[in-house]
Amino acid sequence: MAYNHSFVFGFEKQYDHSLFNDYMHRHWQDSFIYSAVYVLVVFCGKKWMENRPRYDLRPYLATWSAVLGIFSIFGAVRTVPELISSVRDYGLEYSLCVPSYFEGVTGFWCFMFAVSKVYELGDTIFIVLRKQQLIFLHWYHHITVLIYVWYTYPANLGFGRWFMGMNYAVHSIMYTYYALRAMRFNIPKFVSILITLLQLTQMIIGCTVTYLTHQMNQRGIKCGQSEQPVKYGMIMYGTYFILFAHFFYTSYIVEKPKVRSAEMNGKKKS
């Protein structure tokens, strides 16, 4: 049963799930093409920037992040209540196995969620042109999320509501933070720590959701037509957890080497 939102926008009413679902059935493999072009552009751009001065691009980065932040806030507001209701009113099994979120308002935001994974690839262009460190986690995460979302979309899997709701919620905070940082707001360090902790929590829940779905399939409760998306989801979220945990450890726990003040003064004088 579709979640009953108290207010529905015109563009949400006009959305036709069957049209986009049919498109994704025929074109989900395009995600591999987008990913290949992305890798080519990113690493060729990184090579091209080696002997060139970095670009500042702060106004553009602030705008880009703000657009994604506002979009994610709207997405979270329109999808998280449906996720909560599916568990509270119908139970965990329903939330994992019944894809009713593809109907109505959340259906539109599910479509936007899939499309946004292509748009988000542009994040990396700013890293390359600003000559910031490009870590494996960043581009691996972008590629695998895009491919997995496009691969599973035509299957209309129930547990997708968990992935979508969590992603919108975390991104609403993360991209707002990026936008404020780009606008030179002084954000306390604990905010960035909190965001990484939220991402880690998201990965733990993702692993748990896919594992529970796998267990239900083993007991004969069919949550989808195939077990493959569940297994791929467990692998994907498992690798994310390892990579985000490593990032958290190296960024916030391991003490970075400090240069002694005497050495710093010596360098200034020389």
Catalytic residues: 141
Q: What are phi and psi of 220, to 5 degrees?
A: 95, 0
Calculate the CA 267 to chain-centre distance. 43
* Burial (Cβ within 10 Å: 0-12, 13-18, ≥19) of residue 112: buried
